[in-house]
Amino acid sequence: MDLRAPSHWRTLEFHSDVHLIDRDPHTFAAWQGYLDSSTADAVFILGDLFEVWVGDDAVSSSNAFDQKIITSLRTCTQKRPTFFIPGNRDFLVGDRFLRQVGLQRLPDPTVLVFHGQRIALSHGDALCTDDTVYQQFRAEVRTPQWQRDFLQLPLDQRQAKARAIRQVSESRKQEQTQYVDVNTDAVLYLMAQVQADVLVHGHTHQAGTHQLDANRQRLVLSDWCADASPARLEFLQLQAQAGQNSFQRISLPL
């Protein structure tokens, strides 16, 4: 899918892997402050905004943390278009919640056409093709049938299953001697297919800029953690400038 930016958009911002959860109030506060202060023409959230999502019905009007998230997103979406590509933690975010907060869902991948430049946007997990165990799991849980069956379970059962899946995932990470990154061939194939010269993605928690060849580069978004040392509270800003678009990484002060 191509998303063509209106000509008046001059500044865009991208972030991912915030992993919002009530037991991490400092990261939430930093993210909330960022949305409140942003002056971007549009904001793109490239997955894993939430630590876990087991269905829109898990959002409670009596839960103060849920309501803070809803208020923050509504405040942002009322000021500017705000787009969301689901990640591996929050692929079950449904249309009901998106309508409630005003987020606009994008398919993964999406090509952003911004002042003549084609920029591929993705969460990034589909590009980790060397992790065959995860890719098999991903293929299963992304089917409509699996999602229907899962969402029909009682809420407490869904929450228990989500905890079990996370425990297995964390155990696999501890057993791995090397973190599985995106596969370069998969990245180059995607960029060739969509004719993009830049790929922006998250998921890997390995923020950085990778020059793939003379004309193409991969920009990896940071995960967010206010309590890390040093804190990781970074977004990527894209500005339209005369003759060439410019990317800049911006870290929030604590």
Name all domains of the chain by residue range, CATH numbers in brackets.
2-251 (3.60.21.10)
Query: Is the CB of residue 15 less than 8 Å from the CB of residue 207?
Result: no
Tell me what pLDDT residue 178 has.
Answer: 63
Residue 33 has pLDDT above 70, yes or no: yes
- Average pLDDT score over residue span 23-36: 96
Tell me what pLDDT residue 171 has.
Answer: 73
Average pLDDT, the chain: 94
Torsion, CA 7, CA 31, CA 77, CA 94, rounded to 10 = 110
Query: Is the CB of residue 187 less than 8 Å from the CB of residue 181?
Result: no
pLDDT band at 42, cuts 50/70/90? very high
Lowest mean pLDDT among 11-15, 71-75, 165-169: 165-169
Tell me what pLDDT residue 167 has.
Answer: 82
Which pairing describes strands 110-114 and 82-84: parallel, antiparallel, or unpaired? unpaired
Tell me what pLDDT residue 176 has.
Answer: 63
Say how far apart CA 192 and CA 171 lie, in whole Å. Answer: 35
- Average pLDDT score over residue span 84-107: 97
pLDDT band at 174, cuts 50/70/90? low
Say how far apart CA 4 and CA 66 lie, in whole Å. Answer: 32
Residue 69 vs residues 50, 59, 75, 81, 192: alpha-carbon distances, Å: 10, 10, 10, 17, 37
Residue 42, SS3?
Answer: strand
